[in-house]
Structure 1
Amino acid sequence: MDDGRVWSFEESLWTGDAEHYRELVDEECLMVLPQPPFVLSGEQAVAAVSDTPRWTKVAISERQVSRPQEGLIVVAYKVNAEREGTTPYEAHCTSTYRRLEHEVWRVVQHQQTPPLTVTP
């Protein structure tokens, strides 16, 4: 998967509906998100997305792509996401994809770290 497709794939995970998410997230996926229950399996992540409005505007910056071995892609980036009626969201993220067959990829890991809030 070339870099352009990698970033289209990643952005679609933020904006796509639950069915799209279900197609791209592996059942064995593990996710760490900044809200309880914090650690989710693939099925739990799909269920959470089903109950959450999708982001309508997503900006991905600080993009890095690594291909540590054949059939494995790791991305790291900063995201700024918005949807109507909510506060904009910012986080640094990683995702790992594994290739199942030619041009068929699934997310096997995703993590989001929002900025730390420093209190005086």
Structure 2
Amino acid sequence: MTTDDTLWDLEERFWTQGADSVRQATAKGAVFVLPLPAGILQGDALWREKDVAQRWRSVEMSEQYLSRKDDIAVLAYRISAERSDEPIYEAFCTSTYLNDDGKWLRLAHQQTPVWDTREG
């Protein structure tokens, strides 16, 4: 598996696995920016916020981009995520990873929900 494949696999697990998986793949001091009401989260607030470790039944990533320089990688993509009893969630996302002694850890994550301004 290439480094790029590893990073995309980590990112998909962020969406589909639980809080323990997210915590293990997150750097100390990480910052997440999520849609309201969560907002900007850092430190212990990450683990108190239910939106951080939501499990999605299925996810589809598209418009994927990856930029890597030394021990830093930035992933940008569009997500379409689905789970029971909720509408499909669509967002533009970025995640920044740091290679910390051979282990990729998420340092930052941001989501911008997609709204089709052509509707309604």
Structure-2-length-normalised TM-score: 0.87
Aligned to 1:38: 39
- For 2:65 and 2:3, the matched residues in 1 are separated by 13
> Sequence identity of aligned pairs in percent?
35
1:24 aligns with 2:25: yes
Q: CA deviation at 1:50?
A: 8.0
1:40-55 alignment runs, 5 A limit: 40-49=41-50, 53-55=54-56
- For 2:59 and 2:82, the matched residues in 1 are separated by 7
Aligned to 2:87: 87
Matched to 1:77, the amino acid is Y
| Contact kept in structure 2, 1:25 and 1:42, CA below 8 Å | no
Which 5+ residue runs of structure 2 have no aligned equivalent?
none
| Contact kept in structure 2, 1:90 and 1:115, CA below 8 Å | yes
Greater share of residues in helix: 1
- For 2:107 and 2:25, the matched residues in 1 are separated by 9
1:1-120 alignment runs, 5 A limit: 2-49=3-50, 53-67=54-68, 69-102=69-102, 104-116=103-115, 118=117
After superposition, the CA RMSD in angstroms is: 2.0
Structure-1-length-normalised TM-score: 0.87
Q: CA deviation at 1:97?
A: 0.3
Which 5+ residue runs of structure 1 have no aligned equivalent?
none
Secondary structure class of the residue paired with 2:44: helix
Tell me the number of residue pairs that the alignment of Structure 1 and Structure 2 aligns: 118
